[in-house]
Amino acid sequence: MRSLYTKNQIRRWPKGGTHEHFDCSIEPEFILQRCSELGLELPGEFATQWRMTLDNTAAQSAVANEFQEFVASGARQSLKNYLDAIGNYVLPVLQTPEDLYSRAMSRFQRAHDDGLIWLKLRFAPQLHRLKGLTLRQVMEPMVAAVHDSPIPAKLVVCALRHENGRLGWHLGNTCIEHSMDVANFDLAGGEGGNPGVPLWWAKQAARVQKKTRGRTKPSIHLWEEVEPTDEDVRRLRQYKINELAHGFRGKRQGNRVCAMCITSNIVTAQVTNASQHTIDALYREGARVCVDTDGTLFTKTDYTQEYQLLVETFGWGPQDFLQTNLNALSVSGFDAKTKRALEAQLRSGYAS
């Protein structure tokens, strides 16, 4: 389908980001540079190529593009490959407060340039302790970046399915301590071989929501690889979990907001192409979907490209994006005053 809107027009549309992973959105140039500075191994000839291009911006860009394609190709075909690529290429260079702050600030600025008027940035702080940082030392630069962001921003703290209640307790305490800046206590990680809604996490998420008086709510990665069981759906109701990451399989999403990431689902081989994705069918049936990226590194996309994909594949227009952004705004985690201001920006932006 031929697009009725140019890429520049779509980039200017106001957008809200509900589901993006910090460690999936790091620039390939930064990874190459920090690996070089820290003496970390890089595959193939990338270390040599990068050293040879330090005085040539065009050559640097070419090496960075080649490296991004390499790491993206390693992330393809399964969610496990995607998660393994994070551990292999990203986490080793995000282990200092300075790097955490600079990359979070970079992501917020790039989001602003992409037309975003707010962003929730999710990450697992426990994965940034490989060099000895405490959870508090990881959180401090991330919270500082939220405060310095050019757009309204919140953090999402992620536990992982293969973890346990002891770590969940500490992560929950982190959410409580920083509840003014943490919108969600999330559960991420592969669904295969793990309970969709593990009880240890659900109980901690409920504790966090109670202790923060609803400022920090639960969200969960679900319906990405498999449809949830009846027990999973029951626990979603019991623990008042109303925000799903992905959530594109089946028909039992109910009134929950589902943050869908088409290109990511293609990369991890959950669907073959955009036309197979259920986002349009669910949206037309009244599901509360919104549009997100999951990340920019392995998917090689941004919000403008995801919107353009929906325009070209399903014929979406401004009123569709207004509605999906209003869905996203309802779970953005901001106070009522900020939400009203953001809603006014959305309505004004799509009215024109």
Domains delineated in the chain? 7-26+94-351 (3.20.20.140), 27-80 (no CATH)
Residue 194 phi/psi, 5-degree rounding, is -125, 150
pLDDT for position 37: 94
Could you count the other beta carbons within 10 Å of the beta carbon of residue 172?
25
Give the chain's residues under pLDDT 50.
none
Local structure of residue 87 (DSSP, 8 states): I
pLDDT for position 1: 59
Q: Which of 178, 194, 183, 187 is nearest to 160 (CA)?
A: 187
Could you count the other beta carbons within 10 Å of the beta carbon of residue 192?
11
Local structure of residue 214 (DSSP, 8 states): T
pLDDT for position 2: 63
Say if CB 248 and CB 224 are below 8 A apart. yes
Q: Which of 227, 178, 197, 257 is nearest to 16 (CA)?
A: 257
Instruction: Write the single-letter amino acid at 220.
Output: I
Residues 284-338 pLDDT 10s: 999 999 999 999 999 999 999 999 999 999 999 999 999 999 999 999 999 999 9
Local structure of residue 229 (DSSP, 8 states): P
Residues 243-284 pLDDT 10s: 999 999 999 999 999 999 999 999 999 999 999 999 999 999
pLDDT for position 315: 96
Mean pLDDT across the chain, nearest whole number? Answer: 95
pLDDT for position 77: 77
pLDDT for position 76: 85
Alpha-carbon span 272 to 264, nearest angstrom:
11
Here the tokens at position 166 are 């002891």
pLDDT for position 43: 85
Alpha-carbon span 302 to 10, nearest angstrom:
11
